[in-house]
Amino acid sequence: MSKKEKIIVVGGGLAGSLFAVCLAKKGFDVDVYERRPDMRKDDVDGGRSINLALSTRGLHALSKIGLDQEILKQAIPMNGRMMHSIDGELTYQPYGKDGQYINSVSRAGLNRRLLELADENENVDLHFNHRCDDCDLEKNEVYFTDENGQAKTVKADYIIATDGAFSAIRLRMQKTNRFDFSQDYQDYGYKELEITPEEGGAFKMEKNALHIWPRGNYMMIALPNPDGSYTCTLFMPFEGENSFGSLKTDEQIMEFLAHNFADSIPLMPNVLEDYKANPVGSLVTVRCNPWVRGNFALMGDSAHAVVPFYGQGMNCAFEDAAVLDDLIGKHYPNWELIFSEYEKERIHNANAIADLAIKNFKEMRDLVGQEDFLEKKRIEHELCELYPEHYKSQYELVTFSTEDYSYAQAMGDVNDGIIETIKEKGLANRLSDKDAILPILQSAKR
């Protein structure tokens, strides 16, 4: 192959390993430098299974490297949300139309498979235990410390920074002129817990759903794993009453959990041990502009960390990779154009999903249990089913399409207007009345 520029990918996580495969397929000479040991040999999760919701955008990117069907085979489809009230009452909301679902996948399993695929290419070299410390944006040099503590300087034609939310490359960019950057922490943190399988591996709750225990100021979610367990994530404030900070003794922890998540506690035999052993993670939104400085480009969380409440961080990171890959296909070897189009296409979309993810947090923890919200969701669901050409919910646009996130964001307001009009006109229980509903859908400002 003739395209032989050398490209360094800093960070062999989800976005970095996927993009390394894309670059390899295009014939570039690729070096991936990853801070952690090789996760194919070492257990980097400490034995915990952590899962993620993979949806259309992520699958689209995986299809570019022929991995989508294989990953789907190992995934567990989640067709809707199962809400658990404080009394243990269950309410189910489908995520979309029949046949639309999100997929619970193992983070480590997916990352390992992507690294394996990257490694199968002769033109990819993987370097583990290499921490990027800094770079020189003008000289195209990246500075690492290797596993022996030795400093190492590497030079390349182009550098893609996929080193996550606290990117060392972005830190260097932040010191350049007119680089906009913001980092906002939520007052909330998260802790992973586990619902174990039945003996024999059966699931203790509905398998094909994302479970939510919305409790206003805090909430828990659970995603299924293929071994019959669920990875639960408890979101709570760091400080104040009923917070990670205030629950100190075993009694306080158990009393809080048993009161708020009564139906789940009997399913979690190790809950106290897990609570005490697992760290509290923080939730950060990172935005920046530009994403490109010279021959360096940011991708994934290094460019746009978002809170996890729309299940889109990885999907968005994978979409970055797919978009940049397409642009290389279209404009190569004009890298200036490739990078400028990449920024034009991605920055406004990343900002939109950052906003939507924060909005969805409020929705999940406060609203999913409320009647008017459930009614809105019912109307939406019926409109999506009855008028697929004329109505798409914001969730559908974000999760089951590759339309711009910024378009989905704008359509959320349009949809709210449609539902208000339907309710005002007393049509909420006459949604199949085409003569009444279609004009409302058609006249809505898009």
Ligand X SMILES: Cc1cc2nc3c(=O)[nH]c(=O)nc-3n(C[C@H](O)[C@H](O)[C@H](O)COP(=O)(O)OP(=O)(O)OC[C@H]3O[C@@H](n4cnc5c(N)ncnc54)[C@H](O)[C@@H]3O)c2cc1C
Structure tokens of 3? 């395209």
If one asks whether residue 33 binds ligand X (CB under 6 A), the answer comes out as: yes
Binding positions for ligand X, 248-287, rule CB under 6 A:
281
CA distance 83 to 100: 19
DSSP H helical ranges for 180-312: 250-260, 271-277, 301-304
Residues in region 184-223 near ligand X by CB under 6 A = 190
Q: Which of 142, 220, 314, 418 binds ligand X (CB under 6 A)?
A: 314
Based on CB atoms, which residue is closest to ligand X, 63 or 429? 63
Phi, psi of 292 (to 5 degrees): -125, 135
By beta-carbon proximity to ligand X, the closer residue of 52 and 379 is 52
Site mask, ligand X, residues 219-248, x = CB under 6 A?
A: --------------x---------------
Stretch binding ligand X (CB under 6 A), from 34-42, 150-158, 195-203, 361-369: 34-42
Dihedral (Cα; 307, 107, 266, 94), 10-degree rounding: 60
Pick 162 or 409: Cβ nearer ligand X: 162
- Tell me: does residue 311 bind ligand X (CB under 6 A): yes
CB nearer to ligand X: pick between 317 and 440: 317
Q: Are 44 and 136 in contact (CB under 8 A)?
A: no
Q: Indicate whether 35 belongs to the interface with ligand X (CB under 6 A).
A: yes
Map residue 169 onto helix, strand or coil.
helix
Q: Between the CA atoms of 354, 359, 360 and 362, what dihedral angle is there, to the nearest 10 degrees?
A: 140
Distance CA 363, CA 348 (A): 23
Region of 9-17, 21-29, 175-183, 260-268 interacting with ligand X (CB under 6 A): 9-17
Task: Output 152 or 348, the one with its CB closest to ligand X.
Answer: 152
Task: Give me the least distance between CB of 193 and ligand X, in Å please.
Answer: 12
**Nearest residue (beta carbon) to ligand X:** 13
The CA distance from 188 to 218, in Å, is: 8
What part of residues 151-190 is at the interface with ligand X (CB under 6 A)?
162-164, 168, 190
337 phi, psi to nearest 5 deg: -70, -45
Cβ(102)–Cβ(91) below 8 Å: no
Query: x/- string (CB under 6 A) for ligand X, residues 66-85?
Result: --------------------
- Which residue from 79, 54, 23, 63 is spatially nearest to 316, judged by alpha carbons? 54
Q: Report the C-alpha gap between 427 and 423 in whole angstroms.
A: 6
Helices (H), 363-404: 371-386, 394-399
Cα atoms in the 13 Å half-sphere on the side-chain side of 21: 25
Site for ligand X in 103-142 (CB under 6 A): 131-132
Strand partners for 271: none
397 binds ligand X (CB under 6 A): no
Out of 301, 325, 363, 396, the residue judged to bind ligand X by CB under 6 A: 301
Report phi then psi at 363, rounded to 5.
-65, -45
- Minimum Å distance from CB 235 to ligand X? 9
What is the distance between the alpha carbons of residues 262 and 220, in angstroms, rounded to a whole number?
A: 12
If binding is defined by CB under 6 A, does position 14 make contact with ligand X? Answer: yes
Nearer to ligand X, 30 or 383 (CB): 30
**Residue 65, interface with ligand X (CB under 6 A)?**
no
Cβ-based nearer residue to ligand X, 165 or 419: 165
Does position 19 interact with ligand X (CB under 6 A)? The reply is no
Q: What three-state secondary structure class fits 71? A: helix
The residue (of 165 and 437) whose beta carbon lies closer to ligand X is: 165
Of the candidate spans 179-187, 300-308, 370-378, 379-387, the one that interacts with ligand X by CB under 6 A turns out to be 300-308
Shortest distance, CB of residue 51 to ligand X, whole angstroms?
Answer: 7
What angle do helix axes 313-331 and 14-25 make, rounded to 10 degrees? 20
Q: Which residues bind ligand X (CB under 6 A)?
A: 10-16, 33-36, 52-53, 131-132, 162-164, 168, 190, 233, 281, 300-301, 308, 311-315, 317
